Amino acid sequence: MKEFDFTINGNEYNVRVVSLVDDIVKVEVNGVTYDVEMNKKESKTPVIKRSRVVQTVLERGKFTHKDSGQSLAQVKAPIPGLVLELRCKKGDTVKIGQTVLILEAMKMQNEIQASRDGVIKELKVTEGQNVYEGDVLAVIE
């Protein structure tokens, strides 16, 4: 797997990670094999994963978004945050790239945009609501 060189108190060690199964790491230190148990620490910091982003293409000097061609499109939260402002309501017609709502995350305001042209069929959030990554914010028909 991986190989590392360490110097501890003036002594040099060549450490090779042989395998990792559950919490047990098999390592080889200067030719001698050891099973090492890892301690797992609980992290208080949430892991943020980016969801799939609508593809934006520059055509003839203008940005356009690729439409998935589905009859319904869900606008999902790309990161956890707080809904600050709704920029549309149920029944509004939106264009691709139009801002649907403002999401505050890590003290930054993020414009969440429509992923396709259509009509807002449903808003699944309200102003002041906390959302998690991947939560459906709106449905466009």
pLDDT cut 90: percent of the chain above it: 29
φ and ψ of 90, to 5 deg: -55, 130
Domain ranges of the chain: 2-37, 56-140
Cα gap 67→110, rounded to integer Å:
21
SS3 content of the chain, % helix, strand, coil (to 5): 0, 55, 45
The tens digit of pLDDT for each residue in 21-79 reads 877 888 898 888 888 888 776 656 666 555 555 555 555 555 555 544 456 788 888 88
Residue 18, pLDDT score: 87
Burial grade of 8 (CB within 10 A; 0-12, 13-18, 19 or more): exposed
Structure tokens at 140: 């466009």
Which residue type occupies 82?
Answer: L
Structure tokens at 50: 């980016």
Cα gap 2→25, rounded to integer Å:
12
Q: Which CATH class is domain 56-140?
A: mainly beta
Cβ 138 vs Cβ 122: under 8 Å:
yes
pLDDT band at 20 (very low <50, low <70, confident <90, very high): confident
Cα gap 104→28, rounded to integer Å:
48
DSSP string, 98-111: -EEEEEEETTEEEE
Which residue in 126, 136, 134 sits closest to 82, CA to CA? 126
